[in-house]
Structure 1
Amino acid sequence: MPPFSRPFRAGTAAITLSAALTLGLGLTVFASDALAQTADTAETPAAISKTLPGKIVYTQLTTPDLAKAKAFYGALLGWTFQDRPVSRGHYAEALVNGHVVAGLVERPLPDTENPPQPLWLPFISALDVPTVAKAALQWGGKVLYRPTIVPGRGEQAIIADPQGGLFAALYAPHGDRDDTDATVQGDWIWNAILTPAPATSAGFYQKLFGYQVEDAPPPDTHQRYILDSQSIARATVNPLPARLPPDASARWIGFVQVDSVGSAAEKAVQLGGRVLVQPHPDHQNSMIAVLADPSGAVFGVMEWHDPSAAGDAK
Protein backbone atom coordinates (compact mmCIF):
# COMPACT_ATOMS: atom_id res chain seq x y z
CA MET A 1 0.00 0.00 0.00
CA PRO A 2 1.83 3.08 -1.17
CA PRO A 3 1.64 6.35 0.69
CA PHE A 4 0.95 9.78 -0.65
CA SER A 5 2.76 12.29 1.53
CA ARG A 6 5.57 13.96 -0.37
CA PRO A 7 8.55 15.73 1.19
CA PHE A 8 9.07 19.47 1.19
CA ARG A 9 11.66 21.67 2.81
CA ALA A 10 10.05 23.29 5.80
CA GLY A 11 11.70 26.61 5.06
CA THR A 12 10.73 26.54 1.40
CA ALA A 13 7.37 24.91 0.98
CA ALA A 14 5.69 24.44 4.32
CA ILE A 15 2.20 25.51 3.38
CA THR A 16 0.58 27.32 6.29
CA LEU A 17 -2.90 27.82 4.82
CA SER A 18 -3.74 31.48 5.07
CA ALA A 19 -6.77 32.96 6.80
CA ALA A 20 -8.75 32.47 3.61
CA LEU A 21 -9.42 28.92 4.82
CA THR A 22 -12.86 29.81 6.12
CA LEU A 23 -14.24 26.30 6.34
CA GLY A 24 -17.67 26.03 7.87
CA LEU A 25 -17.62 22.29 8.27
CA GLY A 26 -19.22 19.95 10.71
CA LEU A 27 -17.04 17.09 11.84
CA THR A 28 -18.72 13.86 12.84
CA VAL A 29 -17.47 10.32 12.65
CA PHE A 30 -18.09 8.51 9.38
CA ALA A 31 -14.79 6.67 9.39
CA SER A 32 -15.49 3.31 10.98
CA ASP A 33 -15.01 1.42 7.76
CA ALA A 34 -11.43 2.51 7.39
CA LEU A 35 -10.95 -1.00 8.77
CA ALA A 36 -12.18 -2.50 5.50
CA GLN A 37 -10.17 -5.60 4.66
CA THR A 38 -8.37 -5.49 1.33
CA ALA A 39 -6.32 -7.82 -0.75
CA ASP A 40 -2.55 -7.52 -0.55
CA THR A 41 -1.53 -4.37 -2.43
CA ALA A 42 2.13 -4.13 -1.42
CA GLU A 43 4.38 -2.59 -4.05
CA THR A 44 7.59 -3.94 -5.43
CA PRO A 45 10.56 -3.80 -3.04
CA ALA A 46 12.23 -1.01 -5.04
CA ALA A 47 9.35 1.33 -4.16
CA ILE A 48 9.34 0.54 -0.46
CA SER A 49 11.46 1.97 2.32
CA LYS A 50 11.68 1.21 6.01
CA THR A 51 8.90 2.40 8.29
CA LEU A 52 8.90 6.21 8.43
CA PRO A 53 7.08 7.21 11.64
CA GLY A 54 5.10 10.42 11.28
CA LYS A 55 4.77 10.24 7.52
CA ILE A 56 1.19 10.35 6.24
CA VAL A 57 1.20 7.21 4.17
CA TYR A 58 -2.39 6.64 3.07
CA THR A 59 -5.77 8.29 2.96
CA GLN A 60 -9.22 6.80 2.76
CA LEU A 61 -12.61 8.18 1.87
CA THR A 62 -15.77 6.83 3.42
CA THR A 63 -18.65 7.77 1.13
CA PRO A 64 -22.32 6.84 0.73
CA ASP A 65 -22.02 6.51 -3.07
CA LEU A 66 -18.86 4.86 -4.38
CA ALA A 67 -19.87 5.06 -8.04
CA LYS A 68 -20.48 8.81 -7.80
CA ALA A 69 -17.19 9.32 -5.94
CA LYS A 70 -15.25 7.36 -8.56
CA ALA A 71 -16.83 9.39 -11.37
CA PHE A 72 -16.04 12.67 -9.61
CA TYR A 73 -12.43 12.01 -8.64
CA GLY A 74 -11.66 10.19 -11.87
CA ALA A 75 -12.81 13.08 -14.01
CA LEU A 76 -11.34 15.77 -11.75
CA LEU A 77 -7.96 14.27 -10.83
CA GLY A 78 -7.38 11.60 -13.45
CA TRP A 79 -7.58 8.78 -10.91
CA THR A 80 -8.25 5.28 -12.14
CA PHE A 81 -9.80 2.65 -9.89
CA GLN A 82 -9.47 -0.99 -9.02
CA ASP A 83 -12.26 -2.65 -7.06
CA ARG A 84 -11.15 -4.82 -4.15
CA PRO A 85 -13.11 -7.49 -2.27
CA VAL A 86 -14.17 -6.57 1.26
CA SER A 87 -16.09 -8.34 3.99
CA ARG A 88 -19.14 -6.15 3.37
CA GLY A 89 -20.04 -3.27 1.12
CA HIS A 90 -17.80 -2.03 -1.67
CA TYR A 91 -14.20 -0.84 -1.73
CA ALA A 92 -11.95 0.54 -4.46
CA GLU A 93 -8.37 1.74 -4.69
CA ALA A 94 -7.52 4.90 -6.60
CA LEU A 95 -4.37 4.86 -8.70
CA VAL A 96 -2.13 7.40 -10.44
CA ASN A 97 0.46 6.10 -12.89
CA GLY A 98 -0.08 2.62 -11.48
CA HIS A 99 0.51 3.43 -7.80
CA VAL A 100 -2.22 3.54 -5.19
CA VAL A 101 -3.02 7.03 -3.88
CA ALA A 102 -6.17 6.38 -1.86
CA GLY A 103 -8.86 3.97 -0.81
CA LEU A 104 -12.60 4.57 -1.15
CA VAL A 105 -15.09 2.58 0.89
CA GLU A 106 -18.86 2.77 0.47
CA ARG A 107 -21.16 2.87 3.48
CA PRO A 108 -24.69 4.30 3.52
CA LEU A 109 -25.35 7.26 5.76
CA PRO A 110 -27.33 6.38 8.88
CA ASP A 111 -30.98 7.38 8.81
CA THR A 112 -30.74 10.13 11.42
CA GLU A 113 -31.68 13.79 11.56
CA ASN A 114 -28.03 14.92 11.41
CA PRO A 115 -26.09 12.17 9.63
CA PRO A 116 -22.29 12.26 9.83
CA GLN A 117 -20.36 13.98 7.10
CA PRO A 118 -18.35 11.82 4.68
CA LEU A 119 -14.65 12.46 5.14
CA TRP A 120 -11.10 11.76 4.08
CA LEU A 121 -9.13 10.06 6.84
CA PRO A 122 -5.31 10.35 6.96
CA PHE A 123 -3.19 7.37 8.01
CA ILE A 124 0.03 8.24 9.85
CA SER A 125 2.89 5.76 9.89
CA ALA A 126 3.81 4.32 13.29
CA LEU A 127 6.29 1.68 14.45
CA ASP A 128 3.97 0.43 17.23
CA VAL A 129 0.25 1.12 16.83
CA PRO A 130 -0.80 -0.14 20.30
CA THR A 131 1.77 2.17 21.88
CA VAL A 132 0.44 5.12 19.87
CA ALA A 133 -3.13 4.28 20.90
CA LYS A 134 -2.11 4.06 24.55
CA ALA A 135 -0.28 7.38 24.34
CA ALA A 136 -3.31 9.00 22.68
CA LEU A 137 -5.45 8.04 25.67
CA GLN A 138 -2.79 9.24 28.09
CA TRP A 139 -2.62 12.66 26.45
CA GLY A 140 -6.35 13.28 26.13
CA GLY A 141 -7.31 11.62 22.87
CA LYS A 142 -9.86 8.88 22.20
CA VAL A 143 -9.36 5.52 20.52
CA LEU A 144 -12.40 5.09 18.31
CA TYR A 145 -11.31 1.73 16.90
CA ARG A 146 -8.69 -0.26 18.77
CA PRO A 147 -5.55 -1.60 17.06
CA THR A 148 -6.57 -4.17 14.48
CA ILE A 149 -4.71 -6.19 11.87
CA VAL A 150 -6.12 -5.48 8.40
CA PRO A 151 -4.99 -8.02 5.77
CA GLY A 152 -3.08 -6.36 2.96
CA ARG A 153 -2.50 -3.20 4.94
CA GLY A 154 -1.10 -3.80 8.41
CA GLU A 155 -2.04 -2.88 11.97
CA GLN A 156 -4.09 0.27 12.41
CA ALA A 157 -6.19 2.16 14.90
CA ILE A 158 -8.55 5.11 14.44
CA ILE A 159 -8.01 7.91 16.92
CA ALA A 160 -9.49 11.31 17.75
CA ASP A 161 -7.08 13.91 19.10
CA PRO A 162 -8.11 16.01 22.15
CA GLN A 163 -9.67 18.64 19.87
CA GLY A 164 -11.62 16.05 17.85
CA GLY A 165 -9.37 15.70 14.82
CA LEU A 166 -9.66 12.21 13.32
CA PHE A 167 -6.74 10.17 12.00
CA ALA A 168 -5.49 6.61 11.85
CA ALA A 169 -2.15 5.23 13.02
CA LEU A 170 -0.78 2.54 10.73
CA TYR A 171 2.09 0.08 10.80
CA ALA A 172 2.63 -1.49 7.38
CA PRO A 173 4.88 -4.57 7.74
CA HIS A 174 6.27 -4.14 4.22
CA GLY A 175 7.43 -0.60 5.02
CA ASP A 176 6.55 2.83 3.67
CA ARG A 177 7.18 4.34 0.27
CA ASP A 178 10.42 6.28 -0.15
CA ASP A 179 10.45 10.07 0.10
CA THR A 180 12.27 10.55 -3.19
CA ASP A 181 9.44 10.16 -5.71
CA ALA A 182 8.34 13.29 -7.57
CA THR A 183 4.66 14.21 -7.37
CA VAL A 184 2.42 14.39 -10.41
CA GLN A 185 -1.14 15.49 -11.10
CA GLY A 186 -3.40 13.48 -8.80
CA ASP A 187 -0.85 12.78 -6.04
CA TRP A 188 -1.42 14.02 -2.50
CA ILE A 189 1.11 16.77 -1.92
CA TRP A 190 0.43 18.34 1.47
CA ASN A 191 -1.50 17.86 4.73
CA ALA A 192 -2.64 20.18 7.48
CA ILE A 193 -4.74 20.09 10.59
CA LEU A 194 -6.98 23.00 11.54
CA THR A 195 -7.45 23.13 15.29
CA PRO A 196 -8.66 25.45 18.05
CA ALA A 197 -5.42 24.84 19.98
CA PRO A 198 -2.42 24.71 17.62
CA ALA A 199 0.30 24.55 20.28
CA THR A 200 -1.51 21.84 22.26
CA SER A 201 -2.29 19.91 19.10
CA ALA A 202 1.32 20.07 17.90
CA GLY A 203 2.47 18.72 21.27
CA PHE A 204 -0.04 15.87 21.13
CA TYR A 205 1.15 14.67 17.74
CA GLN A 206 4.75 15.11 18.79
CA LYS A 207 4.20 12.76 21.74
CA LEU A 208 2.53 10.15 19.55
CA PHE A 209 4.79 10.15 16.51
CA GLY A 210 8.04 11.76 17.65
CA TYR A 211 7.72 14.80 15.41
CA GLN A 212 10.13 17.66 15.60
CA VAL A 213 7.90 20.73 15.98
CA GLU A 214 8.96 24.02 14.46
CA ASP A 215 7.35 27.44 14.34
CA ALA A 216 6.09 28.35 10.90
CA PRO A 217 8.04 31.14 9.19
CA PRO A 218 6.98 34.76 9.81
CA PRO A 219 4.36 36.17 9.90
CA ASP A 220 2.82 32.95 11.21
CA THR A 221 5.40 32.22 13.93
CA HIS A 222 3.83 31.11 17.24
CA GLN A 223 0.46 30.67 15.50
CA ARG A 224 1.20 27.78 13.14
CA TYR A 225 3.57 24.88 13.47
CA ILE A 226 5.38 22.49 11.17
CA LEU A 227 5.55 18.77 11.98
CA ASP A 228 8.81 17.18 10.77
CA SER A 229 9.95 13.57 10.75
CA GLN A 230 13.09 12.17 9.15
CA SER A 231 14.09 15.85 8.66
CA ILE A 232 11.19 16.33 6.25
CA ALA A 233 8.17 18.56 6.74
CA ARG A 234 5.08 16.34 6.92
CA ALA A 235 2.22 18.69 7.81
CA THR A 236 1.29 22.02 9.30
CA VAL A 237 -0.79 22.69 12.40
CA ASN A 238 -3.03 25.71 11.84
CA PRO A 239 -5.56 27.68 13.91
CA LEU A 240 -9.21 27.37 13.01
CA PRO A 241 -10.52 30.08 10.68
CA ALA A 242 -11.89 33.07 12.58
CA ARG A 243 -15.46 32.54 11.40
CA LEU A 244 -15.69 29.19 13.20
CA PRO A 245 -16.55 29.04 16.90
CA PRO A 246 -13.45 28.69 19.09
CA ASP A 247 -14.64 25.31 20.38
CA ALA A 248 -15.19 23.81 16.92
CA SER A 249 -13.63 20.40 16.36
CA ALA A 250 -10.25 20.04 14.71
CA ARG A 251 -10.10 18.55 11.24
CA TRP A 252 -7.39 17.23 8.92
CA ILE A 253 -7.30 18.28 5.30
CA GLY A 254 -5.19 16.83 2.51
CA PHE A 255 -4.21 18.60 -0.72
CA VAL A 256 -3.91 16.98 -4.14
CA GLN A 257 -1.51 18.30 -6.74
CA VAL A 258 -3.19 19.65 -9.87
CA ASP A 259 -1.88 21.42 -12.94
CA SER A 260 -4.31 24.33 -12.51
CA VAL A 261 -6.19 25.13 -9.31
CA GLY A 262 -8.57 27.45 -11.14
CA SER A 263 -9.49 24.83 -13.72
CA ALA A 264 -9.87 22.17 -11.02
CA ALA A 265 -12.26 24.38 -9.04
CA GLU A 266 -14.38 25.08 -12.11
CA LYS A 267 -14.47 21.42 -13.06
CA ALA A 268 -15.37 20.33 -9.52
CA VAL A 269 -18.52 22.45 -9.71
CA GLN A 270 -19.38 21.05 -13.14
CA LEU A 271 -19.05 17.54 -11.68
CA GLY A 272 -21.44 18.25 -8.80
CA GLY A 273 -18.95 19.35 -6.14
CA ARG A 274 -18.54 22.71 -4.41
CA VAL A 275 -15.83 25.29 -3.96
CA LEU A 276 -15.51 26.06 -0.25
CA VAL A 277 -12.47 28.31 -0.53
CA GLN A 278 -11.85 30.01 -3.86
CA PRO A 279 -8.48 29.61 -5.59
CA HIS A 280 -5.92 32.00 -4.16
CA PRO A 281 -2.16 32.34 -3.74
CA ASP A 282 -0.72 30.73 -0.63
CA HIS A 283 2.81 30.69 0.69
CA GLN A 284 5.92 29.93 -1.34
CA ASN A 285 4.68 30.18 -4.92
CA SER A 286 1.65 27.95 -4.56
CA MET A 287 -2.03 28.26 -5.40
CA ILE A 288 -4.65 26.44 -3.35
CA ALA A 289 -8.40 25.95 -3.16
CA VAL A 290 -10.60 23.87 -0.88
CA LEU A 291 -13.33 21.76 -2.46
CA ALA A 292 -16.08 19.36 -1.44
CA ASP A 293 -17.09 16.34 -3.50
CA PRO A 294 -20.77 15.64 -4.27
CA SER A 295 -21.23 13.83 -0.94
CA GLY A 296 -19.64 16.68 1.04
CA ALA A 297 -16.20 15.19 1.74
CA VAL A 298 -13.64 18.02 1.92
CA PHE A 299 -10.20 18.10 0.32
CA GLY A 300 -7.81 20.65 -1.09
CA VAL A 301 -6.09 21.12 -4.42
CA MET A 302 -2.68 22.73 -4.82
CA GLU A 303 -0.74 24.09 -7.76
CA TRP A 304 2.96 24.10 -6.92
CA HIS A 305 5.28 26.30 -8.97
CA ASP A 306 8.70 25.18 -7.73
CA PRO A 307 8.96 21.45 -8.43
CA SER A 308 12.74 21.55 -8.04
CA ALA A 309 12.20 21.96 -4.28
CA ALA A 310 10.16 18.79 -3.96
CA GLY A 311 11.98 15.83 -2.52
CA ASP A 312 14.58 17.86 -0.63
CA ALA A 313 15.07 17.47 3.07
CA LYS A 314 15.34 20.60 5.17
Structure 2
Amino acid sequence: MMASSNRSKLEIAQERRARDSRIQREAKQRGTTPELIRKQVAFALFFQRIFSQEDSRWMLLGGNALLIRAGHGRFTQDIDLSRDEQWNDLSDVQEEIEGLLRQGDRADDFDFTITKIASYSEPDNYGYGAKTAKITVRVDFGGKQFDIFTIDITSRKHITSAVERLQLKPVLDDDALTDLPKIPTVPAENHMADKICALYEKHQGDKKRPSTRYRDLADLVRFVQDIPLDANRLALVISHESHRRKIIPPQRLVAPDESWTTKYPQAARDFAQYPPHLLPLNAALEYVGTCLNEILNGTRTTGHWNPVNQQWEETTRP
Protein backbone atom coordinates (compact mmCIF):
# COMPACT_ATOMS: atom_id res chain seq x y z
CA MET A 1 0.00 0.00 0.00
CA MET A 2 2.24 2.73 -1.33
CA ALA A 3 1.91 5.80 -3.48
CA SER A 4 5.11 5.94 -5.52
CA SER A 5 7.20 9.09 -5.61
CA ASN A 6 7.94 8.45 -9.32
CA ARG A 7 11.66 8.60 -8.66
CA SER A 8 14.05 6.58 -10.78
CA LYS A 9 15.55 3.30 -9.58
CA LEU A 10 18.93 5.03 -9.39
CA GLU A 11 17.59 7.78 -7.11
CA ILE A 12 15.94 5.23 -4.84
CA ALA A 13 19.14 3.16 -4.68
CA GLN A 14 21.15 6.25 -3.77
CA GLU A 15 18.71 7.13 -0.99
CA ARG A 16 18.85 3.55 0.30
CA ARG A 17 22.66 3.62 0.52
CA ALA A 18 22.66 7.04 2.19
CA ARG A 19 20.08 5.92 4.76
CA ASP A 20 22.00 2.72 5.49
CA SER A 21 25.12 4.80 6.16
CA ARG A 22 23.24 7.12 8.51
CA ILE A 23 21.82 4.13 10.37
CA GLN A 24 25.31 2.67 10.80
CA ARG A 25 26.67 5.97 12.13
CA GLU A 26 23.76 6.49 14.51
CA ALA A 27 24.09 2.96 15.89
CA LYS A 28 27.80 3.46 16.55
CA GLN A 29 27.17 6.80 18.25
CA ARG A 30 24.44 5.36 20.49
CA GLY A 31 26.30 2.15 21.27
CA THR A 32 23.62 -0.11 19.83
CA THR A 33 23.07 -2.22 16.73
CA PRO A 34 22.14 -0.95 13.26
CA GLU A 35 19.24 -3.40 13.31
CA LEU A 36 17.69 -1.64 16.32
CA ILE A 37 18.12 1.81 14.77
CA ARG A 38 16.57 0.55 11.54
CA LYS A 39 13.62 -0.78 13.50
CA GLN A 40 13.09 2.59 15.22
CA VAL A 41 13.00 4.22 11.78
CA ALA A 42 10.39 1.67 10.67
CA PHE A 43 8.35 2.36 13.82
CA ALA A 44 8.43 6.12 13.19
CA LEU A 45 7.28 5.65 9.60
CA PHE A 46 4.45 3.42 10.84
CA PHE A 47 3.38 5.94 13.51
CA GLN A 48 3.60 8.70 10.92
CA ARG A 49 0.87 6.95 8.98
CA ILE A 50 -1.52 5.48 11.55
CA PHE A 51 -1.51 8.57 13.77
CA SER A 52 -1.84 11.07 10.94
CA GLN A 53 -5.28 12.02 12.32
CA GLU A 54 -5.76 13.16 15.92
CA ASP A 55 -9.00 11.24 16.47
CA SER A 56 -7.33 7.82 16.41
CA ARG A 57 -8.98 5.02 18.37
CA TRP A 58 -5.52 3.54 18.91
CA MET A 59 -3.08 4.32 21.71
CA LEU A 60 0.62 3.53 22.07
CA LEU A 61 1.68 1.57 25.16
CA GLY A 62 4.87 -0.01 26.45
CA GLY A 63 8.52 0.79 25.87
CA ASN A 64 7.98 2.90 22.77
CA ALA A 65 5.75 5.29 24.69
CA LEU A 66 8.44 5.71 27.36
CA LEU A 67 11.16 6.13 24.74
CA ILE A 68 9.19 8.92 23.07
CA ARG A 69 8.43 10.54 26.44
CA ALA A 70 12.02 10.43 27.74
CA GLY A 71 13.73 11.04 24.41
CA HIS A 72 16.31 8.33 25.03
CA GLY A 73 16.78 4.93 26.58
CA ARG A 74 15.99 1.31 25.85
CA PHE A 75 15.02 0.61 22.26
CA THR A 76 12.26 -1.91 21.72
CA GLN A 77 11.93 -4.76 19.24
CA ASP A 78 8.17 -4.42 18.76
CA ILE A 79 5.20 -2.10 19.20
CA ASP A 80 2.39 -2.25 21.79
CA LEU A 81 -0.93 -0.76 20.72
CA SER A 82 -4.33 -0.70 22.39
CA ARG A 83 -7.69 -0.25 20.71
CA ASP A 84 -10.55 1.48 22.50
CA GLU A 85 -12.98 -1.38 21.80
CA GLN A 86 -12.78 -5.15 21.53
CA TRP A 87 -12.95 -6.62 18.05
CA ASN A 88 -15.25 -9.35 16.80
CA ASP A 89 -12.98 -10.57 14.04
CA LEU A 90 -9.26 -10.00 13.47
CA SER A 91 -9.93 -9.36 9.80
CA ASP A 92 -11.70 -6.17 10.89
CA VAL A 93 -8.57 -5.07 12.76
CA GLN A 94 -6.38 -5.80 9.75
CA GLU A 95 -8.66 -3.82 7.44
CA GLU A 96 -8.73 -0.94 9.92
CA ILE A 97 -4.94 -0.71 10.20
CA GLU A 98 -4.48 -1.10 6.45
CA GLY A 99 -6.96 1.75 5.98
CA LEU A 100 -4.97 3.96 8.35
CA LEU A 101 -1.77 3.12 6.49
CA ARG A 102 -3.36 4.14 3.18
CA GLN A 103 -4.83 7.28 4.70
CA GLY A 104 -1.46 8.37 6.07
CA ASP A 105 0.64 7.38 3.07
CA ARG A 106 3.49 9.79 2.33
CA ALA A 107 4.41 8.86 -1.26
CA ASP A 108 7.95 8.24 0.03
CA ASP A 109 8.46 4.81 -1.61
CA PHE A 110 7.95 2.99 1.70
CA ASP A 111 5.37 0.23 1.58
CA PHE A 112 3.76 -1.49 4.61
CA THR A 113 2.27 -4.97 4.33
CA ILE A 114 0.58 -6.95 7.09
CA THR A 115 1.90 -10.46 6.49
CA LYS A 116 0.32 -12.19 9.49
CA ILE A 117 -2.21 -11.57 12.24
CA ALA A 118 -3.09 -14.09 14.94
CA SER A 119 -4.80 -14.17 18.33
CA TYR A 120 -2.88 -14.72 21.54
CA SER A 121 -3.84 -17.46 23.93
CA GLU A 122 -2.33 -15.55 26.85
CA PRO A 123 -4.06 -12.61 28.58
CA ASP A 124 -2.87 -9.09 27.86
CA ASN A 125 0.22 -7.76 29.66
CA TYR A 126 -1.78 -5.07 31.45
CA GLY A 127 -4.08 -7.30 33.47
CA TYR A 128 -7.33 -6.33 31.79
CA GLY A 129 -8.28 -9.82 30.59
CA ALA A 130 -8.75 -8.32 27.15
CA LYS A 131 -8.39 -9.87 23.73
CA THR A 132 -4.84 -9.84 22.43
CA ALA A 133 -3.25 -10.45 19.05
CA LYS A 134 0.07 -10.19 17.26
CA ILE A 135 0.53 -8.56 13.88
CA THR A 136 3.59 -9.01 11.67
CA VAL A 137 4.41 -6.11 9.36
CA ARG A 138 6.90 -6.02 6.51
CA VAL A 139 8.30 -2.65 5.44
CA ASP A 140 9.71 -2.29 1.92
CA PHE A 141 11.57 0.66 0.45
CA GLY A 142 11.62 0.92 -3.31
CA GLY A 143 10.47 -2.67 -3.62
CA LYS A 144 13.16 -4.13 -1.34
CA GLN A 145 12.72 -5.20 2.27
CA PHE A 146 13.66 -2.54 4.80
CA ASP A 147 12.51 -4.21 8.03
CA ILE A 148 10.05 -6.64 9.60
CA PHE A 149 8.47 -5.96 13.00
CA THR A 150 5.62 -7.17 15.16
CA ILE A 151 2.81 -5.34 16.93
CA ASP A 152 1.16 -6.64 20.09
CA ILE A 153 -2.39 -5.32 20.17
CA THR A 154 -5.00 -5.42 22.88
CA SER A 155 -8.39 -3.89 23.53
CA ARG A 156 -8.46 -1.62 26.52
CA LYS A 157 -10.83 1.03 27.71
CA HIS A 158 -9.01 4.32 27.36
CA ILE A 159 -8.31 6.06 30.63
CA THR A 160 -10.81 8.51 32.05
CA SER A 161 -8.22 11.29 32.32
CA ALA A 162 -7.06 13.19 29.28
CA VAL A 163 -4.96 11.22 26.83
CA GLU A 164 -1.43 12.59 26.59
CA ARG A 165 -0.05 13.30 23.13
CA LEU A 166 3.71 13.05 22.90
CA GLN A 167 5.65 14.60 20.04
CA LEU A 168 7.46 11.93 18.06
CA LYS A 169 11.06 12.88 17.24
CA PRO A 170 13.23 11.26 14.56
CA VAL A 171 15.88 8.78 15.64
CA LEU A 172 18.15 10.15 12.90
CA ASP A 173 18.28 12.93 10.32
CA ASP A 174 16.20 11.66 7.40
CA ASP A 175 13.90 13.43 4.95
CA ALA A 176 11.37 10.62 5.34
CA LEU A 177 11.05 11.41 9.06
CA THR A 178 9.62 14.91 8.75
CA ASP A 179 6.26 16.16 10.03
CA LEU A 180 6.11 13.42 12.63
CA PRO A 181 2.82 13.29 14.57
CA LYS A 182 1.97 13.55 18.23
CA ILE A 183 1.39 10.07 19.63
CA PRO A 184 -1.57 9.31 21.95
CA THR A 185 -0.55 7.47 25.10
CA VAL A 186 -1.44 7.13 28.77
CA PRO A 187 -0.24 9.71 31.33
CA ALA A 188 3.17 9.06 32.85
CA GLU A 189 1.70 8.13 36.24
CA ASN A 190 -0.51 5.41 34.70
CA HIS A 191 2.41 4.02 32.74
CA MET A 192 4.57 3.98 35.86
CA ALA A 193 1.85 2.26 37.91
CA ASP A 194 1.68 -0.48 35.27
CA LYS A 195 5.43 -1.03 35.66
CA ILE A 196 5.30 -1.10 39.46
CA CYS A 197 2.42 -3.56 39.60
CA ALA A 198 4.01 -5.77 36.94
CA LEU A 199 7.08 -6.15 39.16
CA TYR A 200 5.07 -7.76 41.95
CA GLU A 201 2.42 -9.57 39.95
CA LYS A 202 2.81 -13.32 39.48
CA HIS A 203 3.10 -14.14 35.80
CA GLN A 204 2.25 -16.79 33.21
CA GLY A 205 -0.61 -18.27 35.21
CA ASP A 206 1.75 -19.64 37.87
CA LYS A 207 0.81 -17.98 41.16
CA LYS A 208 4.23 -18.79 42.60
CA ARG A 209 6.33 -17.51 39.73
CA PRO A 210 7.77 -14.02 40.27
CA SER A 211 8.33 -11.51 37.52
CA THR A 212 11.38 -11.83 35.29
CA ARG A 213 10.57 -8.62 33.39
CA TYR A 214 13.87 -6.92 34.19
CA ARG A 215 13.05 -4.15 31.74
CA ASP A 216 10.28 -2.95 34.09
CA LEU A 217 12.79 -1.87 36.74
CA ALA A 218 15.05 -0.39 34.06
CA ASP A 219 12.08 1.62 32.77
CA LEU A 220 11.33 2.83 36.31
CA VAL A 221 14.91 4.11 36.44
CA ARG A 222 14.18 6.15 33.33
CA PHE A 223 10.96 7.55 34.78
CA VAL A 224 12.75 8.73 37.91
CA GLN A 225 15.66 10.07 35.88
CA ASP A 226 13.69 12.05 33.30
CA ILE A 227 9.94 12.36 33.87
CA PRO A 228 8.01 14.88 36.03
CA LEU A 229 5.33 13.15 38.11
CA ASP A 230 2.29 14.15 40.16
CA ALA A 231 2.34 12.46 43.59
CA ASN A 232 -1.42 12.46 44.11
CA ARG A 233 -2.18 10.95 40.73
CA LEU A 234 0.64 8.38 41.06
CA ALA A 235 -0.62 7.24 44.47
CA LEU A 236 -4.18 6.93 43.19
CA VAL A 237 -3.34 4.93 40.07
CA ILE A 238 -0.99 2.58 41.97
CA SER A 239 -3.80 1.92 44.45
CA HIS A 240 -6.28 1.36 41.62
CA GLU A 241 -3.98 -0.92 39.63
CA SER A 242 -2.89 -3.01 42.61
CA HIS A 243 -6.51 -3.48 43.71
CA ARG A 244 -7.59 -4.43 40.21
CA ARG A 245 -4.75 -6.94 39.87
CA LYS A 246 -5.34 -8.25 43.40
CA ILE A 247 -1.79 -7.63 44.58
CA ILE A 248 -0.37 -5.85 47.62
CA PRO A 249 2.61 -3.69 46.65
CA PRO A 250 5.46 -3.46 49.16
CA GLN A 251 5.97 -0.46 51.45
CA ARG A 252 9.31 0.15 49.79
CA LEU A 253 10.78 -0.93 46.48
CA VAL A 254 12.30 -4.41 46.74
CA ALA A 255 13.38 -7.11 44.30
CA PRO A 256 10.60 -9.45 43.15
CA ASP A 257 12.88 -12.41 43.79
CA GLU A 258 16.42 -13.20 45.02
CA SER A 259 17.44 -14.26 41.51
CA TRP A 260 17.26 -10.62 40.44
CA THR A 261 20.53 -9.94 42.28
CA THR A 262 22.52 -11.59 39.50
CA LYS A 263 20.07 -11.62 36.60
CA TYR A 264 19.07 -7.96 36.65
CA PRO A 265 22.60 -6.59 36.04
CA GLN A 266 23.09 -9.12 33.25
CA ALA A 267 19.92 -7.97 31.50
CA ALA A 268 20.41 -4.25 32.14
CA ARG A 269 23.82 -4.26 30.43
CA ASP A 270 22.03 -4.71 27.13
CA PHE A 271 19.57 -1.84 27.65
CA ALA A 272 20.58 1.15 25.53
CA GLN A 273 21.80 4.18 27.50
CA TYR A 274 21.18 2.53 30.85
CA PRO A 275 23.31 4.23 33.58
CA PRO A 276 26.30 1.95 34.33
CA HIS A 277 26.40 2.94 38.01
CA LEU A 278 22.86 1.57 38.42
CA LEU A 279 23.67 -1.90 37.09
CA PRO A 280 23.86 -3.43 40.60
CA LEU A 281 20.35 -4.37 41.70
CA ASN A 282 20.56 -2.60 45.06
CA ALA A 283 21.75 0.59 43.37
CA ALA A 284 18.78 0.57 40.99
CA LEU A 285 16.30 -0.16 43.79
CA GLU A 286 17.72 2.59 45.98
CA TYR A 287 17.69 5.09 43.11
CA VAL A 288 14.08 4.41 42.13
CA GLY A 289 13.12 4.20 45.81
CA THR A 290 14.10 7.84 46.37
CA CYS A 291 11.04 8.67 44.29
CA LEU A 292 8.69 5.77 44.94
CA ASN A 293 9.13 4.72 48.57
CA GLU A 294 7.23 7.71 49.93
CA ILE A 295 4.37 6.92 47.54
CA LEU A 296 4.37 3.21 48.37
CA ASN A 297 4.34 3.71 52.15
CA GLY A 298 1.68 6.42 51.95
CA THR A 299 3.72 9.26 53.46
CA ARG A 300 3.46 11.35 50.29
CA THR A 301 0.26 12.14 48.43
CA THR A 302 1.00 15.68 47.25
CA GLY A 303 3.74 17.45 45.35
CA HIS A 304 5.58 16.91 42.09
CA TRP A 305 8.68 14.93 41.26
CA ASN A 306 11.40 17.15 39.81
CA PRO A 307 13.73 14.91 37.75
CA VAL A 308 16.33 17.66 37.46
CA ASN A 309 16.71 18.08 41.23
CA GLN A 310 15.82 14.43 41.89
CA GLN A 311 13.36 15.23 44.66
CA TRP A 312 9.70 15.78 45.47
CA GLU A 313 8.70 19.43 45.59
CA GLU A 314 5.54 21.18 46.76
CA THR A 315 5.51 23.26 43.59
CA THR A 316 3.84 23.27 40.22
CA ARG A 317 4.76 20.51 37.85
CA PRO A 318 7.90 21.35 35.80
Query: What TM-score results when the alignment is normalised by the length of structure 1?
Result: 0.29
Query: Going by fraction, where is strand more abundant, 1 or 2?
Result: 1
Query: Going by fraction, where is helix more abundant, 1 or 2?
Result: 2
Query: What TM-score results when the alignment is normalised by the length of structure 2?
Result: 0.29
